[in-house]
Chains A and B, each alone.
Chain A
Amino acid sequence: MRHILAVLVENNPGVLTRVAGLFSRRGYNIDSLTVGRTENPQISRMTIVVEGDDLVLEQVTKQLHKLIDVIKINDITSEEYVDRELVLIKVGADPSVRGEIMQIVDIFRARIVDIGRRTLIIECTGDEGKINAVIESLKPFGIKELVRTGKVAMLRGHKFTSINESREDD
């Protein structure tokens, strides 16, 4: 099963190496890992999508906790959450097919962010299902280049992943 972990870490150099190294060293499978600053400049937040059964997840979480730079871990998979990913897709777009592509862009509420002579860059944000669908729809036109950010996720409503809200993982 796939799990989404929201992980708060100290914004120290090397923290990404420590986390990524732990996953490869112990043979855990990462689907995606994103990292960025939070509202507090000293703290970064990672969203890690990891594949494994409950036992593996328990070990992943415990081993992550052993890293001194890791402040807090939330497995949000079983909770209500919002997740998003952003993709940029460069498609082959001769003038003859541009109209068709623009329709697809409209349907997915994506955007065209660059127009070249033979290509378009399309930006799309959404959950995994939507991103996969938009990619599938654009494939027939010839995808020249594609980049995805990996997933970011957040708990809905009054639940938080923050250092102040320590009740969450008690």
Chain B
Amino acid sequence: MKMTAAQALINCLKEQDVDVVFGIPGGNILPLYDAMCKSSEIRHILVRHEQGAVHAADGYARVTGKVGVCLATSGPGATNLVTGIANAYMDSIPLVVITGQVPTTMVGTDAFQEVDITGITIPITKHNYLVKEPNKIPLAVKRAFHIASTGRSGPVLLDLPRNVLQTEITYIQPTDLRLLGYKPTLKGHKSQIAMACDLIMKAKRPVIYAGGGVIASNGSDILTQLAEKISAPVACTLMGLGGFPGGHSLSLGMLGLHGTRYANKAIMECDVLIALGVRFDDRVAVDFSSFAPKAKIIHVDIDPAEIGKNVKVNVPIVGDVKMVMEAMLERLEDKKEEEWLARIEEWKAEYPLKYGPSAQLKPQYIIETIREITDGEAIMVTDVGQHQMWAAQYYRPKTPRTFISPGGLGAMGYGLPAAVGAQVGAPGRDVILVTGDGSFQMCMQEFGTAVEQELPVKVVIFNNGSLGMVRQLQEFYCERRYMAVNFNRNPDFVKFAGVYDALGLRVTAPEQLPGALEQALKTKGPVIIDCVINPEENVYPMVLAGRPLDQSIDG
């Protein structure tokens, strides 16, 4: 069939089951928008800033498990995507990012709005292509989706010069991807799995350390079966939250820098650590040399490069986390180490997550109230900072893909656009954004997108008038020399909602909160709840720099 390469690209997107894309048009990507105009099957969501497009595609991907797609024009459109691409890369989120480029005849001449976006994004994409031959577009698109969504998933960028998009080609769906060097290992090595199972069966104090890989492999149910079979408590990373039911009796909540004390103690005392789809990040291990000192470590991950990178492991298993867990389940027998479980229970009783009862509006109370009012069924999206940690500690998500947070890059501004994407991906569900006044102001223009698209995102701003997490760092590490952390002139966020004819509510006392939340959830459109909290509030527990994991401090 004859058509322009741009039309072929639209066909390829449909072939890949894409029903929504996020973007902003411009000169060099015009042919693609023109082709989209002629096809009504793909919904285009016009955002306000390209960073919003890529974060929204990311939020959409996290909630649906599908590949998120975003579009931008060349030059400034493309560079505006960079933070979002890096954020998705660090969290292994499958995206296909499409950018326009100046015509091939102009590439390399510093033409108007030319930027070498493939060069810029080499370190933050799984792969990228500058497609110079129009008839290679179908192959490039197919490869992009394949690479983005298989193995350790991640963003792939396609850079498409304007004249390439305009050229007429014969559209043929490629069958062979011809990727000679790309074959992810899915099945774990049999004898390694056997070794791991032997270790587990002999373990007296087993602990599971579960991360984003559990969710990415859709392995949450299997993880629950595995944990129950061997009665192992489960500590989740920020990326792993929701991968194991937060309210389960074996759940230890989140581990790490701001993890629960019982999770961290369990890690430091366990004799076998079963690490599933994790990467021993420095915010988890805090100090690599003292992490899980008594344990034999089993590490399952789809990315061989993560195994042995930060921490030495005893049984490495490269493979899809879900498939490896299934293979383990076949070999393992039921077991229960009563003594160990009793000790865990003691720790839980002795060192619970806690915050003082108060007449003040406590941030932890806000998260708990959200959980109660939504019965934990809402999708919670966060930004970056103290509010993110309180959400991670207190929300206890029940199911995978309901706790959406920028873990690896920690890009402030992620929250609102990601919530927009999440709501697009899960239209019937409550989507609640937990954000800070700092983070919100980094992408608050996307509130307009939410209003325009009638996406009923509920924005809960933890308004401490400051960059709270940095203030906390300065309190601990700079002897309270506060520098550049206070906002002396924040906008009135209630009025801000009003500017868009949306509902804005202010909450200053705890008793106002349940009513405000209920009202917001009943409202059809997006709502902002401005929660005024104490700027002196800190996130606890906290492991001070260089300390072992089990020596965290409380307030």
Contact = CB atoms under 8 A, between A and B. Distances in A.
Interface of A: 8-10, 13-14, 17-18, 21, 25, 43, 55, 58-59, 62-63, 65-72, 163
Interface in B484-530: none
A19 to B, nearest CB: 10
B303 interface: yes
Contacts of A72: 181
B402 to A, nearest CB: 30
Interface string B154-196: 0000000000000000000000000111100000000000000
A10 to B, nearest CB: 6
A99 B32 CA distance: 71
Contacts of B130: 13-14
Given A10-B180, A55-B308, A59-B305, 13 more contacts: A8-B181, A9-B181, A10-B181, A17-B119, A17-B122, A21-B123, A25-B123, A58-B308, A62-B304, A62-B305, A65-B304, A68-B182, A71-B180
Nearest to B309: A59
A66 B183 CA distance: 10
Interface of B: 118-119, 122-123, 126-127, 130, 147, 179-182, 303-305, 308-309
Nearest to B147: A68
A9 B126 CA distance: 16
Contacts of B308: 55, 58
Interface centre among B119, B127, B130, B305 (most CB of A within 10 A): B305
A63 B305 contact: yes
8 contacts: A10-B181, A14-B118, A21-B123, A63-B305, A65-B304, A67-B127, A68-B179, A163-B180
Contacts of A70: 181
A70 B123 CA distance: 15
A163 B180 CA distance: 8
A66 B184 CA distance: 9
Contacts of B182: 68
Contacts of A17: 119, 122
A66 B305 contact: yes
A57 B420 CA distance: 43
Nearest to B182: A68
A109 to B, nearest CB: 39
B188 to A, nearest CB: 16
A37 B522 CA distance: 65
A83 B308 CA distance: 31
Nearest to B318: A62
B122 A21 contact: yes
A151 B182 CA distance: 27
A98 B303 CA distance: 59
A158 B70 CA distance: 50
Nearest to A12: B129
Nearest to B306: A62
Contact of B303 (A13, A66, A68, A71): A66
Nearest to B156: A68
A21 B120 CA distance: 11
A65 B127 CA distance: 12
Contact of B181 (A14, A21, A63, A69): A69
B304 A68 contact: no
Contacts of B118: 14
Contacts of B126: 68
